[in-house]
Amino acid sequence: MVMDSFNSPPIRFKVTPGRIFFMLLGNTLIALFMTGLHSESRFLTSFVYSQCMGISIATCVIFVVNYFKVSTLTVQTILVIAAIVVGIGIGVTAGLSAVNFIWSPDSSIWRPEKLKSQAPNLLYSLLFGAIVSYVFISVQKMSDEKIRRLEVEKNAAITEIKLLQSQMEPHFLFNTLSNILSLIDGDPRKARNMLEAFTAFLRASLVTARSETITVSQEMDVVKNYLEIFRMRMGDRLRYSIEIPESLQSLRIPPLLIQPLVENAVKHGLEPSVSGGNLLIRAGRDGDRMRIMVTDSGIGINELSPGNGIGLENIRKRLDLLYQGRSRISFEENQPSGVRVAIEIPYETK
């Protein structure tokens, strides 16, 4: 647990009444232990001394953990050890002063022989300080990790729901169903083709939305079925071509990354255009980068075109999660009309 935590993020302590109580209780237990160890010392003396020590170490450790910005847990551990040493220094001074003040206010404690007798106590303090800090930090780290894991799981679930929601967009669903319904009597063959494409699209969407990554060719299955549905609906107003080299087909990418771009191009670019237009999906490799481009010759984007409602944020978030800043997505005007979207991701053959 300690080994794998060299690079894990630093922790933050939350000071709660419960934790303060446990610290005081711990101090008391240590005092009892010390009294048992040295029969000549009194419990009360040890108690006062131990509380001073404990509170002082805890304060230093909490201060260091919560107010020193560090990058990893390793650096933080070193700081905590330093804090324990400083805490002991303050604790010894405070503890001795307190004990001296309560039980023998007349004599000075700062005599050499008296200080010398503190040496074993210092060692014990270091030991206990380290153990207690370790326990507290471990508990905190475990709960931090649990929260993080739950966060990741929650994000994955939300992503899946959002993806499926975008695939089940009511306008698309009902328009496609009405088309199938309207074709059943007059053109049953076309109706069957459309139903097949629709079923394949839904199945592929369901499978891909549940995976963390899929191959380019799996994604293209979703895209092709989607476009087939629209080609049947829009007739010759929609023309499309897909140019993806064989070598890139098996590459793994996040699911439903290209499909929403195709959907945007159809929904906001081509479908609203009276004469329709072309759609081109092209992928290529450039060294260690892979570039996917979706180009349409539709009505294009003006300054007030919907920008938030096109699922961009979702795509970007998922790209960030997977590639941590090594991906790019950009929009450009296509000539003479329409939009070109380009996604760049690292070329990785996992």
Partner 1 sequence: MRQIRAIIADDEEALRSYLKKKLLSAWPELAITGEAGDGPAALRLIADSRPDIAFLDVQMPGATGLEVARRIAGTCAVVFVTAYNKYAVEAFESEALDYLLKPVTDERIEKTVKRLKERLNTPHLSAASVSEAIEKIAFALQKPAVFLQWIKAQHKGGVRLIPVNEICYFKATDKYTTVRTRDGEFLIRKTIKELEEELEPGQFWRVHRSAIVNVRAIQTVADSLSGSCMIKFKDIQEDLSVSRAYSHLFRQM
Helix (H, G, I), strand (E, B) or coil at 343: strand
**Contact criterion met (CB below 8 Å) for 50 and 31:** yes
Choice from 1, 3, 119, 304 touching partner 1 (CB under 8 A): 304
Phi, psi angle pair for 55, to nearest 5°: -60, -40
Q: Judged by CB under 8 A, does residue 181 bind partner 1? A: yes
Question: Which segments of 253-326 does DSSP mark as H helices, in order?
Answer: 259-264, 312-323
What single-letter DSSP state applies at residue 18?
H
Q: Judged by CB under 8 A, does residue 305 bind partner 1? A: yes
**Contact criterion met (CB below 8 Å) for 227 and 199:** no
Q: Judged by CB under 8 A, does residue 332 bind partner 1? A: yes
**Per-position b or e across 199-232, b if 16+ CB within 10 A of its CB:** ebbbebbeebbeeebbbbebbbbbbbbbbbbbbb
Min separation Cβ 98 and partner 1, Å: 39
Binding piece for partner 1, criterion CB under 8 A, among 63-71, 72-80, 136-144, 182-190: 182-190
Min separation Cβ 191 and partner 1, Å: 9
Which residues have CB under 8 Å from 337's CB, separation 6+? 277, 297, 298, 299, 300
Q: Judged by CB under 8 A, does residue 165 bind partner 1? A: no
Binding piece for partner 1, criterion CB under 8 A, among 32-40, 140-148, 151-159, 308-316: 308-316
Amino acid at 284: G
Give the rounded distance of the alpha carbon of 114 from its chain centre: 55
125 vs 179 by CB, closer to partner 1: 179
Number of residues that bind partner 1 (CB under 8 A): 42
Binding piece for partner 1, criterion CB under 8 A, among 14-22, 119-127, 168-176, 254-262: 168-176
Site string for partner 1, 193-232 (x = CB under 8 A): ----------------------------------------
What single-letter DSSP state applies at residue 236?
G
Surface-to-core class of residue 118, CB atoms within 10 Å of its CB (0-12 exposed, 13-18 middle, 19+ buried): middle
* ∠ CA 84-86-87, rounded to 5°: 60
Q: Judged by CB under 8 A, does residue 339 bind partner 1? A: yes
What single-letter DSSP state applies at residue 307?
S
Min separation Cβ 251 and partner 1, Å: 23
Q: Can you read off the two tokens belonging to residue 158?
A: 């939300």
Rounded to 10 deg, the angle between the 17-37 and 43-67 helix axes is: 140
Q: Judged by CB under 8 A, does residue 151 bind partner 1? A: no
Q: Judged by CB under 8 A, does residue 287 bind partner 1? A: no
Choice from 155, 182, 247, 250 touching partner 1 (CB under 8 A): 182
Choice from 68, 174, 192, 203 touching partner 1 (CB under 8 A): 174
Min separation Cβ 318 and partner 1, Å: 15
Rounded to 10 deg, the angle between the 188-209 and 170-186 helix axes is: 150
Binding piece for partner 1, criterion CB under 8 A, among 93-101, 212-220, 267-275, 288-296: 267-275
What does the chain come to in residues? 350
Q: Judged by CB under 8 A, does residue 264 bind partner 1? A: no
Q: Judged by CB under 8 A, does residue 72 bind partner 1? A: no
Q: Can you read off the two tokens belonging to residue 252?
A: 């793994």
Min separation Cβ 178 and partner 1, Å: 4
Binding site for partner 1 (CB under 8 A): 170-171, 173-175, 177-179, 181-183, 185-187, 190, 233-235, 237, 271-274, 276, 301-308, 312-313, 316, 328, 330-333, 335, 339
